[in-house]
Structure 1
Amino acid sequence: MIFLVLLLVLVIDKLTDWRREVQQDGPWLRLLQRVEGRQGQARPWTGLFVLVLAPVLVLGVLLALLQPLAYGWLALPLHLLVVLYSLGRGDFKRELGPFRDAWHRGDEEAAALVAERDLNLSAEDPPGLLRAVEAQLLWRSHQGFFAVIFWYLLLGPMAALAYRLLVLCVAHGRSEALRERAGSLLHAFDWLPVRVLLASFGLVGNFVALHHAVLKDLLHWDIPARRLLAEAGPAAADLGESATGEAGLARLDSLAAMLVRTRLLWYAVIAGWTLVA
């Protein structure tokens, strides 16, 4: 059933707008506001219990009730909804459009303004801005797809939902203590899948360059996943030094193509695993 769920997720995500309809964060965000209003900075772990663990436990109860029925097929729609909800928010390719247009025209000032407005990115110079956009592309792909699929495969929909709720806590929380605790848990969640993703980059990209770029930091617990991806992605895509103009857009296209190849690799591995199992 796992491969069927992921195949349906792929089809729905590419051919429909259902993901946007499923990803309604309003009720959870209102709960976040109430929890932060009551707990403040004093009891962040209690807040995380209400915001993350409680919804995950409710999901676990629903799955336990549905799993024995109809050989588990009644649980399939719930799996599908949870995975769709747990995927990343927004459409980075669409958000990147105005930046690409400005960069293509050679209007570096407009590109910087668009990047700050649409992508919340800034840099001191155009090459630095392009590197920031590349890092954002890699990070959004990891956090919005690869990490979610990894935890769904490994531990099921409860882990995928827990990952997304932690991401939302970090993104929308106003309490510094709450964001800090959620960020620590998210770092633990990211540690293993980001390294599996890097191994996948080595298979579909330049393994030697990737090896030289990240080997020394690969097993360090304290290295942020975002930094590791920002260093490894361009190396695996064999991009070389930063570029400007059309060459800069070609770098983004090369990274995007590598991410597509990585997705295909993951689906092929999952399909093979399903057949063997």
Structure 2
Amino acid sequence: MTFLVLLLVLWVEKFSAWRHAIQQDGPWLRLLAKAERQPDFVESPWLGIVLLVVLPLAGLTLLLSLLEPLAYGWLALPVHLLVLIYSLGRGDLLAALGPFRDSWRRGDSEAAYLVARRDLALEADSEGALLQQVQGHMLWQAYQSFFAVIFWYALLGPLAALAYRLLALLGEHAEQPALRERAVHLRHAFDWLPARVLAASFALVGNFVAVNRALLHELLSWDISAAQLVINVGRVACEIPAPELGAAGVGSLDSLWQLLVRAAVLWYALFALWTLFL
């Protein structure tokens, strides 16, 4: 059933608008705001983790335990699908990059700065730095929106996928520094393994020799962030040239996207083999 859900997620992502309808964070964000106003949660941020992450996971566990014994487990399939879709990242990466790509292709650096600030929340001091930030944004968003989520779903099921997304939301939206710090540390632990699996995938579908030479010593480091690792390995594996305004710069974004697509195909092929032989 796991591989079927992973295939259905691709279909939903490509051919429907269900993702935007399912990814409704309003109730959870209101619960977060209410919890942050309570003195007990301010003094003990772990209570916030329990309320905002552990309790939803406990509810999902109870629901699945009730559904999985019925109809050979097929009644649980819609729940798996809904949870996995909810756990994917927010927004449409390609749509968000569209205005920047158009401005950069025209050579209009001023418009590119404006749309990068408006659509991607990115700023830089030079054209080259801006393009590098956009390249990094593409790699990181693809990882945290898709690869990390399907990795944990394939490995441990919907509970792990939902835990990853709730921790990500908590790290992004929590206003209490202590609560945000706990969420960021837990997410760093969640990111350690999938980020390195993706880095290895980039090496296999990209320039293996360059990745091995430049970044092998960082693969097992706990201190390097998942974002830094994924971005560095992606650029090296894709052999990104020096930043350049115009069509060549847009071509670097296309090359990175193709690298991500090849890595996704590799992952799905491995998931299929895993399903067949285990």
TM bucket (normalised to shorter chain) is over 0.9
Matches within 5 A, 1:22-171: 22-39=22-39, 41-171=42-172
1:13 is the counterpart of 2:51? no
Deviations 1:37-93 (A, max 9, x none): 114632211111100111011101111111111111111010000000000100010
Shift of 1:241: 2.7
Deviations 1:180-202 (A, max 9, x none): 11000000000000000011111
Q: Percent identity?
A: 58
Asked if the contact 2:241/2:252 (under 8 Å) is kept, the reply is no
Q: SS of the residue aligned with 2:43?
A: coil
Deviations 1:18-41 (A, max 9, x none): 011110111101101001111463
RMSD value over aligned CA atoms?
1.0
Counterpart-to-counterpart distance in 2, 1:213 and 1:121: 27
Deviations 1:97-138 (A, max 9, x none): 111111112111211111111101111111111111111101
- Please give the TM-score of this superposition, normalised by the length of structure 1: 0.98
Counterpart-to-counterpart distance in 2, 1:230 and 1:146: 14
* Range that drifts further, 238-247 or 93-102: 238-247
- Structure 1 unaligned spans of 5+: none
Match of 2:250 in 1: 249
Aligned length: 277
* Range that drifts further, 63-72 or 192-201: 63-72
Counterpart-to-counterpart distance in 2, 1:151 and 1:132: 27
Asked if the contact 2:203/2:211 (under 8 Å) is kept, the reply is yes
- Please give the TM-score of this superposition, normalised by the length of structure 2: 0.97
Q: SS of the residue aligned with 2:37?
A: helix
The amino acid that maps onto 1:19 is: R
* Range that drifts further, 245-254 or 204-213: 204-213
Asked if the contact 2:57/2:162 (under 8 Å) is kept, the reply is yes
Shift of 1:173: 1.2
Asked if the contact 1:102/1:111 (under 8 Å) is kept, the reply is yes
Q: SS of the residue aligned with 1:41?
A: helix
Following TM superposition, the consecutive aligned residue runs of length 4 or more in structure 1 with deviations greater than 4 angstroms are none
Shift of 1:244: 2.6
Match of 1:264 in 2: 265
Counterpart-to-counterpart distance in 1, 2:214 and 2:81: 37
Asked if the contact 1:201/1:262 (under 8 Å) is kept, the reply is yes
The amino acid that maps onto 1:4 is: L
Asked if the contact 1:213/1:231 (under 8 Å) is kept, the reply is no
Shift of 1:212: 2.0
Counterpart-to-counterpart distance in 1, 2:132 and 2:214: 16
Shift of 1:206: 0.6
The amino acid that maps onto 2:185 is: S
Counterpart-to-counterpart distance in 2, 1:41 and 1:135: 34
Shift of 1:209: 1.1
Asked if the contact 1:41/1:176 (under 8 Å) is kept, the reply is no
- Structure 2 unaligned spans of 5+: none
Counterpart-to-counterpart distance in 2, 1:53 and 1:264: 33
